[in-house]
Structures are given as C-alpha cells and as structure tokens.
Amino acid sequence: MPVLRENSKVSSSISRFLVLAFARVANYAILLVSPIVFVRILDQHAYGQYREFVVYALALATVLGFSVKTSILYFIPKDPDNERKYVTQTALFIFASSALGLGIIYATRHIVFAKASFDFAEPLLLYVFFFLNLDFVESYWLAKKRSDYVLYYSTAKSAIKITVCMAVGYMTRSVEAIVTALVIFEVCKFLALLCWFSSRRLFTVTLDTALIREHLRLVLPFGAGTVVYGLNQQLGKLFTSMTLGPSALAIYTIGAYQIPITGLVRSAASDVLFPEMVQRGQGSPMAGLSLWNRANVLYCFVVFPFFTVFFFYADTFVTTLFTDQYVTAVPIFRVFLLIMLRQCFEMSTPLRAMNVNRYFMIGNLVAILVNAGFIFATFDDLGLLAAPIGLLVSEVALAVYLGSRILKVYSIHVRQMLFWSKLMAIAVAVLLNVPILLIGELVPIGDAVRAIVFSSLFLTGYFVFVRRCRLDEIELVVSRAMRKAGLPRWLKSASS
C-alpha cells in the first residue's frame, strides 16, 4: 500500500508520540540501573525488603490515586475554557482521597502490615502522600500537547531519584536509609510542583458543582477499574511477599523486569492519542477508533521482536544483569514475556474515549477474581510460578471481555477490530529472522557477546523486512523519527 500523506494532525500526534516514547524509554533505562546496582550491594533478603516497600507503595498509590490524574487528559481537550477548574478539582480529589485513605491505613497499620518483614508503615504513608499529590503535572502537559515538557521533567526526576537512592544504598547498605531517601525526595518534588502550579495561577477558588459532578461521573467508574487493575498487577507480588518472604519477592521482581517495555510504548501512545480520540470521537467514533488501530500496529511493531529476543536469551539476560543468584527467576521472566505479548493489544482506550468506563471496571473485577482463584488453586503445585501464570490467565480474560465490549460499543465485527493483515506481516517478519538467533548458538563466543551480536542482526533483518512491507503506520513513525534524528536523505532511502 502507498504511504499515507501526512496531514498536520496525524503528523503532530506522531511527533508527540515519539517524544513521549523516548521519555518513557529513557526513564526505564534509568530505573533499570537501580536493580542492577542494588542486587550487587544488597543481599537477596535486603533487596527483597526494599522491593517489599515498593510493592506496598505501588498498591497504596494505585488505590488512593484512583486514576484521578489521568482525567484531565479527557476534560482539558474537551473543555479548555474550564482548565483551571479541572486542575483544581483534580488536586482536591487526590488530596482528599490520599489524606482520608492514609489516615485509615495508619489507624489499622497493625493489621495492614502484619505480614511485613520490617516496620516501614510511617515512612510508607509519608512517601505515598507526597508521591500522589500534584503528580498529575505530566497528564496536564500531555493534555496541552507538550510532550517535550514531559521528556525533560520525567527524565530529570527519575535520574535524580535513582542517583540519590543508589548513593545512599552504596554508602549505608541499609534498606531503612534508602526508604528515608525516597521520602525526602518525594517531599522536595511536591514542594517544587506546588511552586510551579502556583506561579502559573493554575488553581482557582471558584468551583462549579456541575463540573464536579461531571468530573466524578468520569473518575468513579474508570478509577474503580484502574484500582482493581493495579491491584491485579500487584497481587502476585503481595501474595509472594506475605507467603514466601522477601527473598522470594526479590526473585519474582527480577523475573518481572522486562514487562515495562510494553507499558512504555503503550502508555506513550495512549496518552498522546486519548485526547485526540476524544476530540475526533465527538464527530465520528470510527475516526477515533482508526487512531487506536494504528497504535496497536505500532505496539506490535516494537514488542514482537523484543519478545523474541528476550525469550531466546532469557538466561543470559537475567544472569548477566542481575548475577547468577537470580537464575531461578528465568522461568518467571519468560511468563512475563508472554504477558508482555498479550499487552500489545491495549483494550481500554476506545472505551475510555466513548466514556463507557463501567466495562473497564467490570472486566478488571473478573480479571482479579480469575487471578486470585488461579493462584490459590495452583500454589501448592506451581509454587512461585503460580502468581505470574495467574496474572497471564487474568490478562487474557480481561482482553477477551474488553474486546467484546469494543465490538458492541462501536457496532463492528471482529475482523474490523484490528488491522489483522498488518499484524500478520509483523509476525512473519519476526519468524523469518528467527534462524539468525539459531545460527548464533553454533558460534563459539561468550554468551553475552552472542546475545548482543545476534540480537542486533536479528533486529536489523526484522526492520529491513518490515520496511519492505510498506505498512503505513510504521512508515510514518520511522520517517518522523529519522527526520527528528537529522538523518540524511540517502540513509532514509537506503533503509527502505
């Protein structure tokens, strides 16, 4: 098919996607440094305790944050005249939810943290409060189509946070000291954001009850679904921590470290496309759905080859980055790769764009019940593998349910739901280059060198084949990426 002409709207969306995707990848690269360092300066039990704090923090932040911060991605593009009111409402909702929720948690801390391996209740509650409040600044910038601000802010934030934590960990070898450093960082971040919002007069004392009701109608069903989804993602880690202890949690966490790759690409695309889908959907729902279809092609374009490489070199990846003491994490790592593959197909954005968030909530309730049921039914037989496999099964169940709701809401057939022929072309491109990885096993070189060399050859062959397929979405993204990178015209032509 000929390459589609770039109109201004699509070109702008692609540019913002590339900037945001780069920001998310840069953040992931920065965050990946911390486990590589921590597994070398902390023993397995101590690293497990650190991850225990993080798991509890993420679980609490998921529940108390209620996904309120993403609501302005919907409201600001839809009603820009009331921007200050929506910003103020978002800040107040998060403050009320976090203050009330953390107060309840503190009052019941002896019950909530009964299975914790060390006493971290008070620093955890402080960390979560300052982590949540005013943290919607990135969503605000995305709603204003300033993904460049997100790049600068998020990269700097992650770099400073990880540098401070690693420095404290290296000097003290103390989990408590690392936790204290995290709390201090979040307090400083909160104060900086408070100054930024105030200096730009983004808060107002004038509120509108009608806007508040509309805000709540969006937030409550989607927030409930997001809470359940987040708890479903953390369920395996919480179960592992409570039943098997910090050392097992450390192994589980290392096994799950590749999963953010899908989240990086998916969140970058959905955060950019969601406001665009809201605007287009007001005129024609199918116009918004077309953007989503293109996004799924991009997810698969990125994730399919990396899934193959990571699955093939799982042992080398885990033992090289995280040392031989975590070799037992390899089976968990491979299960999470299958989850990564499933998450290529992002199902919530089309429903959010049509403001039918109840399906997201129902689907996630089904998913967490499936996950919990699987874990409890198979734990005696599968042990540590029960949790990741349970998550995989629940993710498949969620995709099937949300997919059926998309068909209903948009009144389409399953063959219209995705660009199946384009996805098949991407899969074929991967399969045709797998022999490169197999040939690498015959070459007598070190494992790490083999993985780097033959993964690079595999990815190059894959990229060349996909470019030959002339898939519109990929051509547009690649051309924009090359233009931003300042590559010469002859190189662009050669690559295609």
Residue 402 is predicted with a pLDDT of 93
Both tokens of 128, joined, read: 């979560």
pLDDT of 4 > 50? The answer is: no
Asked if 317 and 310 touch (Cβ cutoff 8 Å), the reply is yes
pLDDT of 270 > 90? The answer is: no
Q: 28-32, 196-200, 345-349, 351-355: lowest mean pLDDT where?
A: 28-32
Overall pTM surpassing 0.85 (yes/no) = no
**Is 205 in a helix, a strand, or coil?**
coil
**Tens-digit pLDDT profile for residues 104-157:** 999 999 999 998 888 899 999 999 999 999 999 999 998 888 888 888 898 899
Residue 141 is predicted with a pLDDT of 92
Q: Which tops the pLDDT comparison, 271 or 450?
A: 450
Both tokens of 353, joined, read: 């764009």
**Tens-digit pLDDT profile for residues 216-251:** 988 888 788 888 988 998 999 999 999 999 999 999
CA–CA separation, 211 and 208 (whole Å): 5
Residue 283 is predicted with a pLDDT of 56
CA–CA separation, 109 and 123 (whole Å): 12
Asked if 402 and 360 touch (Cβ cutoff 8 Å), the reply is yes
For the stretch 206-211, contacts whose Cβ atoms lie closer than 8 Å and that sit 24 or more positions apart, written own/partner, are: 206/85, 207/85, 207/88, 207/89, 208/82, 208/85, 211/82, 211/85, 211/86, 211/89
Closest CA to 20 of 157, 142, 175, 112: 142
pLDDT of 480 > 80? The answer is: no
**Is 455 in a helix, a strand, or coil?**
helix
**Tens-digit pLDDT profile for residues 299-312:** 888 889 999 999 99
pLDDT of 102 > 70? The answer is: yes
Contacts of 269 (CB under 8 A, 6+ apart): 17, 21, 295, 298, 299, 346
* % pLDDT > 70, the chain: 84
Q: Which tops the pLDDT comparison, 488 or 206?
A: 206
Confidence band, pLDDT 50/70/90 cuts, at residue 395: very high
Distances (CA, A) of 435 to 45, 308, 463: 40, 12, 15
Task: Kindly state the average pLDDT of the residues 408-419.
Answer: 87
Residue 491 is predicted with a pLDDT of 46
pLDDT of 344 > 70? The answer is: yes
Mean pLDDT, the chain, whole residue set: 86
**Tens-digit pLDDT profile for residues 276-327:** 555 555 556 676 677 778 888 888 888 899 999 999 999 999 999 999 999 9
pLDDT of 490 > 60? The answer is: no
Q: Which tops the pLDDT comparison, 418 or 379?
A: 379
pLDDT of 3 > 70? The answer is: no
Closest CA to 434 of 329, 338, 284, 308: 308
